[in-house]
């Protein structure tokens, strides 16, 4: 019996799997997001149309990686913010410590703004070609749990880059 293509994107499944792998390995999962009007993130942290976010369990609250959106709450500059990212806008996920991860092509067709869910506030996770690429040097990670370590403080004094996993 031949499997019929279902049209279901592999991207959310791969994002969830790599997030789990990072967490199980004691690594910090970061995502690179291409920002447009459908992405709900603090705009002051966007650089060159992209934002890099720490999506570890320690840096987020109520993290959900559904088939359509990544939703969570995180602190930016001491202020809690609701984050909503369409899955198609995630261009990479990688481990901060070693750069291993996966990159994805950007999906151009996005749902209307009215269809976007909003993460709930608190008081106090299309397939297609999968390739690997280096995270742009201009994209600075936003570590919502704490400030990002100074550049050159990673392994051997280098910024992490994505590495091909075979």
Which residue, 25, 46, 34, 38, is CA-closest to 69? 38
CATH number of the CATH domain containing 22: 2.30.30.220
The strand pairing partners of 92, in sequence order, are 32, 103
In a domain, 166, yes or no: no
Asked whether the whole model's pTM tops 0.85, one would answer: no
What pLDDT shows up at residue 160? 60
Domain with 16 in it: 11-108+125-157
Is residue 91 domain-resident?
Answer: yes
* Residue-wise pLDDT tens digits, 92-133: 999 999 999 999 987 765 444 444 454 443 333 333 333 333
Does some domain include residue 55?
Answer: yes
Q: How far apart are CA 98 and CA 95, in angstroms?
A: 6
Looking at the DSSP bridge assignments, the partners of residue 51 are 33
Q: Is residue 5 part of a domain?
A: no
Domain count, the chain: 1
E strands, the chain, in order: 29-34, 50-54, 61-65, 69-76, 79-86, 90-95, 101-103, 141-142
Q: pLDDT tens across 136-158, in order?
A: 333 445 544 443 444 444 444 55
Q: In the beta sheet, which residues pair with residue 93?
A: 31, 102
CA distance 164 to 166: 6
Q: Would residue 164 count as lying in a domain? A: no
Task: Report angle CA 106, 69, 73 to the nearest 5 degrees.
Answer: 120
């Amino acid at each position: 019996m031949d499997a019929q293509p279902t049209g279901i994107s592999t991207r959310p499944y791969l994002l969830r799997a790599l997030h789990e792998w990072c967490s199980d390995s004691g690594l910090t999962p970061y995502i690179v997001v291409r920002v447009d009007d459908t992405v709900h993130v603090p705009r002051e942290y966007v650089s060159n149309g992209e934002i890099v976010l720490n999506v570890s369990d320690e840096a987020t609250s109520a993290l959900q990686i559904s088939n359509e959106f990544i939703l969570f709450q995180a602190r930016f500059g001491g202020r809690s913010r609701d984050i909503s990212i369409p899955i198609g806008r995630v261009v990479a996920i990688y481990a901060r410590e070693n750069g291993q991860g996966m990159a994805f092509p950007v999906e151009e067709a996005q749902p209307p703004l009215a269809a976007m869910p909003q993460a709930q506030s608190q008081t106090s996770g299309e397939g297609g070609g999968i390739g690997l690429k280096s995270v742009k040097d201009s994209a600075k990670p936003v570590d919502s749990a704490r400030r990002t370590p100074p550049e050159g403080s990673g392994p051997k004094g280098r910024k992490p880059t994505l590495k091909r996993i075979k």
